[in-house]
Amino acid sequence: MTSANNNRRATLFVTCIVDQVYPSIGQATVALLEQQGVEVHVPPRLTCCGQMAFNAGFRDEAYAIAGRTIEVLRGQGDVVLPSGSCTAMIRHLYPELFDHSPYAEPARELAGRTYELTEYLVDVLGITDVGAHFAGRIAYHHACHGLRFIGVKAQAEALLSGVRDAELMPLAGCQECCGFGGLFAIKQAAISEAMLERKLAAIAASEADLVVTGDASCMTQIAGGLSRAGSSIRARHLAEVLANMVDVR
């Protein structure tokens, strides 16, 4: 435990997909933060950031959902998310959504204390070695929102470099989209599938045992493709690797 962070308190915004499909990612995030001496709080009334409605063009619905989120997170200190996409929604799109509205200033205030998990660990807590270990080969996929919207790249790489016994494998096109993109995968299914095939080929060529990413949506897309291809390579979230929640074969 890092004593310098003993008085720090963080609110975990668990995200919809983690809450409903991958609770282990939320558990891993809590474990990581608590190991660094951070007190973690999860507001019981917290639901969705409103990104799906916003991306689909339903601005009124997004306004209602996001406005409620702002209210729930008032006075809650640092807000940490194991997702670059939801972080980007709050940090960059809330100010746009609420511009010239009564929520304009609260939206900017919330954006200023909202962090993606890896940047919170590295940039705020000053941690790159969390005591993780994995006896195998790891390739890392940089999710689009985290990479392009909020500039998270070096943080994940620094944390992975501290994973003991892991061999980090170069992944060709590691910064290229996996083809998910939320509604994109539904509306542009053929393009999404072609992008996924390209990503799967690169993953196979990397000879990794594990492909890791920082967004559960990308993990779902890649894991589904690997499963349908009969691949032995697994896809997991970075938080699970860092919290030693991935079994070593």
Q: What's the distance, CA 150 to chain centroid?
A: 11
Q: Which pLDDT value is given to residue 185?
A: 78
User: Based on the number of CB atoms within 10 Å of its own CB, is 55 exposed (0-12), middle (13-18) or buried (19 or more)?
Assistant: middle
Q: Which pLDDT value is given to residue 119?
A: 97
Q: Which pLDDT value is given to residue 220?
A: 94
Q: Which pLDDT value is given to residue 248?
A: 58
Residue ranges of the chain with per-residue pLDDT less than 70: 1-4, 6, 248-249
Q: Which pLDDT value is given to residue 73?
A: 97
Contact 26, 82 (CB under 8 A): yes
From edge to edge, which strands make up the β-sheet containing 78-81? 39-41, 9-12, 78-81, 114-116
Q: Which pLDDT value is given to residue 187?
A: 83
State the pTM of this model. 0.93
Q: What's the distance, CA 125 to chain centroid?
A: 17
CA-closest candidate to residue 171, choices 152, 193, 143: 143
Q: Which pLDDT value is given to residue 1?
A: 43
Contact 98, 107 (CB under 8 A): yes
SS3 annotation, 5-48: HCCCEEEECCCHHHHHCCHHHHHHHHHHHHHCCCEEECCCCCCC
